[in-house]
Amino acid sequence: MAPDADLTVYFCGVGGLLIVYIVAAYDDMLRRQREGEHDVQVVSNSYGPAADDRPFVPDDPTNVATWAAHEAGILPVFSAGNSGPERGTLNQYAKAPHVLGVAATHADQTVTDVSSRGRPQDGSREQDNYNRHAAYENLAALHDGTPEDEIEGPLGIYRNGVAAKGGDVTSTLNPADALNVTEPDGERYYGPMSGTSMSCPVTVGCATLVVDASLEAHGEAPAPVDVLTTLEATAVETVHDTYTAESVDAGYVDALAAVQRAEPGELAGFDEIDLAPGSHE
């Protein structure tokens, strides 16, 4: 999606099985940012706990790390998870209001069954919140020192942000990878994979285009939350009847529409996304 972008890559697993070095990776990324070793605007995260129906946990180390990245001018983007089609299965880290969570679709833009869903709005005060602005303001107050028991209202957001293609995405693949061995496709260094781990980096590329458009036109990178709200505000809402507030919320990501908002400096605000169908209070 953004072929000329520079990449800083971290491997956070143990033998590809356990993800244990997330905070260490964020810490090093932010250190290098402070020291001018790189200039990162968006961070892609294709991992997370499965079928996590817990409320958002603001002091989870990874949630603290993504807030630190947001404060440093970096937009965290997370895969929604592959625990669908049941509702209430979003990745814990995608519930943060400063993070853009991404659902997965097939090539025809229908939502995949495995793509994790948000919670239904069942009338509870916290765990059915769809309003990003309210949660964002409350979380900012918490990080500014307001005790959690003095904060009224939600801290998390229980819906997806946008959707992008995540079904049968072909990319580079190690010839020794188990997928290449068990399901060879004739392409030695490439292979198809499916899931929100694929739709997440697609969306990160779209976010990078928004950042680049702002840099080219105005000489400075936009605030992370402005990139997030612009991608949500310009997403296509009614592509298929599989699009619900729980499955994709804002809709299918539209890179061109988002860039066309960024070039003239007309980035979207919370008022556009929290009043949109599927994400209103």
The token pair at 2 is 């953004």
Question: What's the one-letter identity of residue 52?
Answer: D
Closest CA to 81 of 171, 161, 197: 197
Integer Cα distance of 132 and 122 in angstroms: 17
Integer Cα distance of 25 and 165 in angstroms: 27
Q: CB burial class (10 A; 0-12, 13-18, 19+) of residue 193?
A: middle
Greater confidence, 44 or 17?
Answer: 44
Inter-residue contact 210 to 262 (CB < 8 Å): yes
Confidence label for 281 from pLDDT (cuts 50, 70 and 90): very low
What is the C-alpha R_g of the chain? 18
Determine phi and psi for 232, rounding to 5 degrees: -70, -45
> 43 CB contacts (<8 Å, ≥6 apart)?
26, 29, 69, 74, 75, 76, 77, 204
The token pair at 174 is 């190690």
Three-state DSSP state, 250: coil
Domain ranges of the chain: 41-273
Integer Cα distance of 46 and 84 in angstroms: 16
Q: What pLDDT is recorded for position 72?
A: 97
Determine phi and psi for 75, rounding to 5 degrees: -90, 115
Give tens-digit pLDDT for 53-101: 789 999 999 999 999 999 999 999 999 999 999 999 999 999 999 999 9
Inter-residue contact 268 to 261 (CB < 8 Å): yes
Pairing of strands 13-14, 75-79: unpaired
Which DSSP letter does residue 236 get? B
Give tens-digit pLDDT for 120-151: 876 555 678 999 999 999 999 999 999 999 99
Q: Is the peptide bond before 85 cis (omega within 30 degrees of 0)?
A: yes
Q: Is the dihedral angle over the CA atoms 198, 204, 207, 212 positive or is it negative?
A: negative
Q: What pLDDT is recorded for position 277?
A: 44
Give tens-digit pLDDT for 226-256: 999 999 999 998 777 778 888 888 899 999 9
Query: Cα 205–211–214 angle (5° rounding)?
Result: 145
- Inter-CA distances, 95 with 53, 165, 202, Å: 10, 20, 19
Q: Which fold has domain 41-273?
A: Rossmann fold (3.40.50)
